[in-house]
Amino acid sequence: MRAFLLFWSALWTVSLPLIRGYLRKRAKKDPLYAQHLPERFGRYETPRRGAVWFHAVSLGEVRSAVPLMRAMLEAGEHLLITCFTPAGRREAERVFAGEAVQVVWVPLELERCFKRFFNAFAPKLGLVMEVEIWPRMVQSARDHGVPLLMCNAGYPLNSMMRDRGFPLRPAVMRRFAGALVKSELQRERFREVGVEPIFVTGELRFDQPIPPAHLEKGALALAALAQGRPVIGLASIVEGEEELILSAIARALTELTPRPLIVLVPRAPERFAPMAEALTEMGVNFARRSELFDKDLTLKDPAQIDLLLGDSIGEMYFYLSLTDRVLVGGGFTPKGSHNIIEPLALGKPVVVGPDISTIEYPAVEAIRAGVCLQVGPDQVLRAFSAEGWPGPRPDQITAFLEEHSGGTRRAMEALQPWLQK
């Protein structure tokens, strides 16, 4: 491992010009990439020492960590949150504005950068959300005596199979101080590669808070826009499945009776404009959220539309609140499906594509419970109507949520030995 880390550091060192170029390129679309650059090299202004450190690389990881972060604050802990992307940083700063939380960029994978980081903050405990395996981060935590644990962790089967031929990642995972995993199946997978100790705490996203304002604004928008029509949600649609989804939209608007209202939310902000262009070329009667609503989600113009294009970040619960059922994207590409818990939390039946490797838990359990439907590319239209899929009863979704919630409490219990030191 030491030999690999020397090679790893050398690789990052020679790649620094490319990394700087990458950040400058991304900054053309999002200026925040070019801000606070000293932090990426381990130099921080007014660091607060002794906090509980969460590494949440981007928006999804920050959101999944919020319930546990809240529990930590209620227990009297100070928090340090490191992110890599502007979306993650903005969300963390928005959610915890004015609280005992410091949000900074994670250092680059260089020993000297992490040495400055740990000397500056001296965190009492580190939690890496999901499975972010960064060798220098993990080794530097060990070198500085900071217990670093995987949190809300899952080990997809395809990743596990790849690692059997190239076991570097398992070697790094064994250097963590432990893992808080999502299910008994995940416990067995992490145990097989030698991770210890392991705690089955469940999925933190089941405990995510739902913004009441999003639901209130959604109810008003629904009454004005849908006017009794069924509403189909297409959430977290990614590049690579857009053509399939656009084709399904065209068929839904011409073949389904009554004609539905569709809420389309691309996963990445850079896809907002291309999707708008594609819808225009198709002749779809649509409006963008940025045009139809003000910054507080108040409807400016109750336009007669067939599709609302969600071109904003951080408002997923608003979009989902409008819908009767939701197709969650990603699963029609090899990269895997995205989060199904948010629509289920609002009582919405969920549809996913073939690849659920990224959300194996809780997707397998949700499909088995009848609250989620898995379809192939030629079955998408079927999922859009009650005739194609009647969907679950509301009490089925409620029972599923009750069975799988409580991850925050279990995580706090598992972490007590480290928090009390």
pLDDT by residue (tens digit) across 142-168? 999 999 999 999 999 889 999 998 889
Residue 131 has pLDDT above 90, yes or no: no
| Topology (CATH) of 212-404 | Rossmann fold (3.40.50)
Model confidence at 29, pLDDT cuts 50, 70, 90, reads confident
Close Cβ partners of 376 (under 8 Å, ≥ 6 residues apart): 353, 354
The phi and psi torsions of 178 (rounded to 5 degrees) equal 155, -175
Report domain extents, the chain: 27-202+407-420, 212-404
Run of H or E residues at 400: helix 394-404
Select from 17, 23, 15 the least CA-distant residue to 39: 23
Helix, strand, or coil (residue 46): coil
Q: How high is the pLDDT of residue 78? A: 97
Model confidence at 1, pLDDT cuts 50, 70, 90, reads confident
Quick check: 206 and 177 in contact, CB under 8 A? Answer: no
Helix, strand, or coil (residue 399): helix
- Please give the span between the terminal C-alpha atoms of the chain, in angstroms, as a whole number: 29
Model confidence at 97, pLDDT cuts 50, 70, 90, reads very high
> Strands (DSSP E) along 63-204, which ranges?
79-83, 101-105, 125-129, 148-153, 178-181, 198-200
Quick check: 136 and 166 in contact, CB under 8 A? Answer: no
pLDDT 10s digits, 168-209 = 999 999 999 999 999 999 999 999 999 999 999 999 999 999
The whole-number average pLDDT for the span 381-399 is 94
Q: How high is the pLDDT of residue 340? A: 97
DSSP type of residue 211: -
The whole-number average pLDDT for the span 281-288 is 98
Residue 302 has pLDDT above 90, yes or no: no
Close Cβ partners of 197 (under 8 Å, ≥ 6 residues apart): 178, 179
Q: How high is the pLDDT of residue 68? A: 98
- Catalytic position from the list 61, 91, 111, 315: 61
Q: How high is the pLDDT of residue 393? A: 96
The phi and psi torsions of 120 (rounded to 5 degrees) equal -75, -45
Taking the C-alpha atoms of residue 117 and residue 135, their distance in angstroms, rounded to an integer, is 15
DSSP bridge partners of 164: none
Model confidence at 333, pLDDT cuts 50, 70, 90, reads very high
Select from 165, 113, 163, 164 the least CA-distant residue to 140: 113
Model confidence at 60, pLDDT cuts 50, 70, 90, reads confident
Locate tokens 């925050």: which residue?
408
Active site residue 61: yes
- Which pair of tokens denotes residue 185? 């199946």
Q: How high is the pLDDT of residue 269? A: 87
Residue 301 has pLDDT above 90, yes or no: no
Residue 421 has pLDDT above 90, yes or no: no
| Dihedral sign, Cα of residue 208, residue 212, residue 217, residue 220 | positive
Select from 148, 160, 94 the least CA-distant residue to 124: 148
Run of H or E residues at 411: helix 407-419
Close Cβ partners of 309 (under 8 Å, ≥ 6 residues apart): 264, 265, 272, 275, 276, 279, 286, 287, 288, 289
Q: How high is the pLDDT of residue 45? A: 92
The whole-number average pLDDT for the span 124-149 is 96
DSSP bridge partners of 198: 179
Radius of gyration of the chain measured on its C-alpha atoms:
22
Distances (CA, A) of 274 to 126, 239, 270, 281, 407: 39, 10, 8, 11, 38
DSSP bridge partners of 352: 374
Taking the C-alpha atoms of residue 252 and residue 250, their distance in angstroms, rounded to an integer, is 6
DSSP bridge partners of 125: 52
pLDDT 10s digits, 220-275 = 999 999 999 999 999 999 999 999 999 999 999 999 999 999 999 999 888 999 99
- Which pair of tokens denotes residue 15? 């790649």
Percent of residues, the chain, with pLDDT higher than 70: 100
Which CATH number is associated with domain 27-202+407-420? 3.40.50.11720
Residue 85 has pLDDT above 90, yes or no: yes
Residue 339 has pLDDT above 90, yes or no: yes
